[in-house]
Structure 1
Amino acid sequence: MNKIALGLLSILLLVSACNTKPVFTLKGKLTGETDKALLVGVVDKEGYHVVDTVTLKDGVVDYSTFLDQPLLMIVGLDGSRQHSVFFADNGAYTIEGDIQNLKDATLTGGQLFTDYEKVKKLDSEFSVLLQDLRMAYGEASQAGDEAKMKEIDETYDAAFEKNNSDKMSFVSANPSSPVAAYVVYDSYRHQPLEDIKVAMAELDQSIASSPYYQLINERAAKLETVAVGQVAPDFTLNDTEGNAFSLSSLKGKYVLVDFWASWCGPCRRENPNVVKLYAEFKDKGFDILGVSLDEKEDAWLKAIEDDQLAWNHVSDLKGWKNEAAQLYAVSSIPHTVLLDPEGKIIAKNLRGEELRTKIAELLN
Structure 2
Amino acid sequence: MASMFLLMSLHILAQTKTFTLKGKLTNVKDGSKIWFYAYHPALQKDSAIITNGTFEFKGNLTGPIQAQLFLPHGPKFKVMLPLTGAYDFLNLYLDEGVIKVNGTDSVKNMLVSGSIINAEDQKLSKTLNVLENKILTIRSEFKQAPVEQQKDPAFMSASDNKIIKLWKEIEAAKLKFAKENPDSYVSLNAVFELTRGRTMNYHVLDTAYQSLSDRYKNTVLAKNTKQMILTGINTTVGSQAVDFSQPDVNGKIYKLSDFKGKYVMLEFWASWCGPCRAESPNLVKAYEKYKDKNFTIMAISLDKKRDEWLNAVKEDKIPYLQLGDLKGPQVSEVAISYGIQSIPESYIIDPNGKIIAKNLRGEALNKKLTELFN
Q: TM-score range by the shorter chain?
A: 0.7 to 0.9
Shift of 1:158: 3.6
Match of 2:182 among 158, 167, 175: 175
Give runs of aligned pairs for residues 187-198 of structure 1, distance below 5 A. Answer: 187-191=194-198, 192=200, 193-198=202-207
Question: Per the alignment, in what secondary structure is the counterpart of residue 134 of structure 1?
Answer: helix
What displacement does 1:357 show?
Answer: 4.9
Amino acid in the other structure paired with 1:315: G
Where structure 1 has 5 or more consecutive residues not aligned to the other structure, the ranges are 1-19
Secondary structure, aligned partner of 1:84: strand
Deviation track 1:313-354 (CA, whole Å, cap 9, x = no partner) reads 012233322332112111222222223345443433334454
- Match 2:357 to one of 337, 347, 356: 347
Q: Who is 1:162 aligned against?
A: 169
Preserved CA contact (<8 Å) 1:260 1:335 = yes
| Residue in structure 2 matched with residue 282 of structure 1 by the alignment | 291
Is the 8 Å Cα contact of residues 179 and 208 (structure 2) preserved in structure 1? Answer: no
Q: Does the CA contact (< 8 Å) of 2:306 and 2:326 recur in 1?
A: yes
TM-score under structure 1 normalisation?
0.80
Are the aligned partners of 2:36 and 2:70 in contact in 1 as well (CA < 8 Å)?
yes
Gap change, CA 1:148 and 1:356, over 3 Å in 2 = closer
1:66 and 2:60 aligned: yes
Structure 2 matches for 1:105-184, cutoff 5 A?
105-140=110-145, 142-144=147-149, 146=152, 148-184=155-191
State the partner residue of 1:6.
Answer: none
Q: Residue 89 in 1 paired to residue 95 in 2? A: yes
Classify 1:141/1:293 alpha carbon distance in 2 versus 1 (closer, same or farther; 3 Å).
Answer: farther
1:209 Cα deviation (Å)? 2.7
Q: Which amino acid in structure 2 is aligned with residue 295 of structure 1? A: K
What is the identity percentage for the equivalent residue pairs of Structure 1 and Structure 2? 31
Shift in CA distance, 168/74, structure 1 to aligned 2, threshold 3 Å:
same
Aligned length: 342
Gap regions ≥5 residues in structure 2: 1-14, 73-77, 80-86
Confirm whether residue 304 of structure 1 aligns to residue 298 of structure 2: no
**Counterpart code for 1:90:** E
2:144 partner amino acid: E
Using the TM superposition, name which of 252-261 and 25-34 deviates more: 25-34
Aligned equivalents of 1:34, 1:151: Cα separation in 2? 50
The structure with the greater share of residues assigned to helix is 1
- If the length of structure 2 is used for normalisation, what is the TM-score? 0.78
Q: Rate the CA distance shift 1:61–1:245 in 2: closer, same or farther, 3 A.
A: same
AA of the residue aligned to 2:235: V
Q: Does structure 2 conserve the Cα–Cα contact (< 8 Å) formed by 1:240 and 1:314?
A: yes
Verify: 1:267 aligned to 2:259, yes or no.
no
1:163-197 CA distances to partner (integer Å, 9 max, x unpaired)?
33333333232111111111221234222424423
- What secondary structure, in the 3-state scheme, does the structure 2 residue paired with 1:350 have? coil
